Amino acid sequence: MTPAHFQAEADLHLENEMRSRQSLPDTSALLPQGLDTHNADLIMQSSDHVPFYVHKSILSMSSPIFRDMFSLPQPADGEFVDGLPVVRLAEEAQVLHNLLTMIYPIPSVIPGEYDKALDLLAVSQKYDMVAIQSSIRAEMKNNLRPLTAAATFRAYGIASAKGLTPETEAAARLTLDFPMTFESMGDALSMIGGWALRDLIRFRRHCRDNLASCLESLLDTRLPPIDIWTGCHSTTSDIIPWWLQAILSGHISDLHCPFSKSLLKSSSIRAEYLRALQLHVTQTRCTFCSKTHVMQGETFCTQVEKELSKALEMVSALKPPFYEHSSSLNNYYYG
Amino acid sequence: MNQVSASTALTKTLHHGMSGSTAISAEESASRTHILNHPHADIILRSRDSVDFRVAKVYIIDSSPVLAELIQSPSDHSGPNIAVPAADVTSLPVVQLSDSGEILSSLLTFVIPVTPDLPSTVDDTFELLSTAQKYEMDLVLTRIRDHVAKQKPPLIRDETAFHLYSLAQKYGLRQEADQAARLTLGVPMSVESLEAAGKLDILSGALLHELWRYHQRVRDYLSYDLAGFANLGAGARINFRCVKLTSSDVPMWLHDYIDSIAGDPMLFNRSKFQTALMRHVSGTPRICISCTSISSKTIDNFWTALSDVVQHSIENVRLCVVKMTCNDASTFSG
């Protein structure tokens, strides 16, 4: 063989090797840092064909589903690569990557985006990884929440589709902070299934009804906490001050459009109260309202906030109305 | 249900009519016998609920390239829903289909020269259309659609539009989905108003989102086409002596009216037009006597021209068929 032959053969070998390298997906960025793949006895392959070399024992400890799977004999026609059995999973590489960081003793990576964290949570629920679910939930509770209307409705869609019950409930509550319009939901609407959409509408409607009843009962001057306000000189003696009436009545009126506007948040009522009171006192020099505020304003605000929160908490996004706190039905109206 | 009892049950259904009517004509009775047991039968189509239809395969081969390929191919050929098992006791080859006996029975009335018979419910009618579409029976599909179009009251009408839009999407029937979606243009597309009208219970988020996008696209098309009609076309120049004309010599009130249709297609309505005219002739700042004397022929011509533009605009907008998921499908099951 001539030197030219050797060179040609070497070039061909190099070209083949380069082609071979090009055809393999670059998985290095997806493999968790610090993951020890020595002595791996299984390849988990993601839906986008990324292989993860893992240990059955570690997976078995984290998931009874995997434990049961590995207790079964390997099928005769099973796939092997590098002498290791291959298990093909329905999840994408990024989710599996995050999941492995939670299973192995390496720094865990929980996605910063709420949607992706929900995907990870759903996978851990699918494989019955109880401890990992708790860790993800704790992280989500403390550090993550959808910020925009579209992200919130999307989170509801994902959570409901994947059967993540607490997250469905939580996301449904968060949607109340935004209008439920086609514009605000955008593409996220297409992620909400039929039943989930009906549940969300029912939930919003019942929250609206409860808030309306609550606000109406707060306007009853014979009952606390509003009774402390009868006596303002700008109104007749048995009626509450107009500025306070305007706040509560305004919100009742807004509740006629529960979808085109966000629902009243209990936490926002205090700021409105203070603004309106300040304006009233400045304009009318009303000593009664000023004094009442100093003496009992804080208690009044706290009670109103509490009542409004209670009105919302009584409604569940997941249960039909007739199961909801039947003892409270006398106080609040369900439409 | 075993094969015999299913056949018997269907035969009874066929002979007593799908809608429960016991009085059927001799012609209908003959038709139904032809479907179940054609005198020149050389193949059996078996439904998923084990109803056998003994038919002459020439009809099937002529109607459907999909079934033709299945029937003519060797017996080991099988699709995801269709299998060709060995011949049964009658010695005729059997083609196992994934459709119900009721749908196949109706389908065959459009394939075999007998009296066409639509299923008794709208849902089944859409399933029938979908089945014909699945088997690529183009001519049969046209026949069924012609038959559906003759129904009184029409199948797709204002009251049924939302339900049938969702059904058409479920079955991938683009033509019916377009028809139904067009009828929803008369309904304000807001969550608030749809909820009040009880329409949200019918649709999944994906279907609702596509319908909303369709409404948006219609408005965009209308806005463009109507602007052209009002500013460039001659159709809107109905009175040069109006007290206030646009630079295109179109009465300003008419220009505003045309413009408003893009924002709210419900305003495309003869009475809304008359209201706009009345408001103008009797309104501020000046009463326009000239516009009171616009001839009815001029108005009719204008309305015809406007209708053409609106219709053309709407027909240019096509719906996207939404890929259904399990969550979407759940909308229709309960």
Over the stretch B190-222, which tens digit does the pLDDT of each residue have? 888 888 888 888 888 999 999 999 999 999 999
Sheet holding A51-54, edge to edge: A51-54, A42-45, A84-88, A80-81
Q: Residues A137-143: what's their mean pLDDT?
A: 89
- Shared domain for B23 and B131, answered yes or no, is yes
Residue B29 has pLDDT above 50, yes or no: yes
Nearest CB to B204; choose among A197, A201, A258: A197
Residue A32 has pLDDT above 90, yes or no: no
Residue B296 forms part of a structural domain: yes
Q: Which is more confident, B223 or A235?
A: B223
Contact check, Cβ <8 Å, B325/A193? yes
pLDDT of residue B125: 95
Q: How many residues does chain B have?
A: 334
Q: Residues A4-22: what's their mean pLDDT?
A: 41
> What pLDDT band is residue A210 in, cutting at 50, 70 and 90?
very high
Residue A263 has pLDDT above 80, yes or no: yes
Q: What is the CATH number of the domain that holds B127?
A: 3.30.710.10
Contact check, Cβ <8 Å, B212/A182? yes
In tens, the pLDDT along B57-97 reads 899 999 999 999 888 876 544 444 444 454 444 578 889 99
> What pLDDT band is residue B143 in, cutting at 50, 70 and 90?
very high
Nearest CB to A161; choose among B195, B327, B329: B327
B162, B163, B187, B192: best to mutate for the A interface, most A CBs within 10 A: B192
Residue B121 in contact with partner chain A when CB distance is under 8 A: no
What is A39-144's CATH superfamily?
Potassium Channel Kv1.1; Chain A (3.30.710.10)
The percentage of chain A sitting over the pLDDT mark of 90, rounded to a whole number, equals 41
- Nearest CA-CA distance, residue A165 and chain B, Å: 15
Residue B329 forms part of a structural domain: no
- Shared domain for B12 and B145, answered yes or no, is yes
Q: Are B211 and B189 in contact (CB under 8 A)?
A: yes
Residue A209 has pLDDT above 90, yes or no: yes
Contact check, Cβ <8 Å, B330/A194? yes
Residue B124 forms part of a structural domain: yes
- Shared domain for B98 and B221, answered yes or no, is no
pLDDT of residue A79: 86
In tens, the pLDDT along A269-312 reads 899 889 998 998 888 888 888 888 898 888 889 999 999 999 99
How many domains, chain B?
2
Q: Are A43 and A86 in contact (CB under 8 A)?
A: yes
In tens, the pLDDT along B305-314 reads 999 999 999 9
Residue A166 preceded by cis peptide, ω within 30: no
B191: how many CB neighbours lie within 10 A of its CB? 25
ipTM above 0.85, yes or no: no
Residue B175 forms part of a structural domain: no
In tens, the pLDDT along B40-53 reads 788 999 999 999 99
Contact check, Cβ <8 Å, B195/A205? yes
pLDDT of residue B149: 93
B162, B169, B191: best to mutate for the A interface, most A CBs within 10 A: B191
Q: Which domain holds residue B273?
A: 215-316
Residue B252 forms part of a structural domain: yes
Residue B43 forms part of a structural domain: yes
Residue B15 has pLDDT above 60, yes or no: no
Q: Residues A58-74: what's their mean pLDDT?
A: 91
pLDDT of residue B262: 86
Residue B32 forms part of a structural domain: yes
> What pLDDT band is residue A188 in, cutting at 50, 70 and 90?
very high
Q: Which is more confident, B226 or A230?
A: B226
Domain boundary among B123, B149, B175: B149
> What pLDDT band is residue B139 in, cutting at 50, 70 and 90?
very high
How many angstroms from the chain centroid is the CA of residue A147? 10
> What pLDDT band is residue B26 in, cutting at 50, 70 and 90?
low
How many angstroms from the chain centroid is the CA of residue A313? 17
Residue B69 forms part of a structural domain: yes
Domain ranges in chain A?
A: 39-144, 145-192, 206-328
Read off the tokens for B270.
């003869």
pLDDT of residue A128: 95
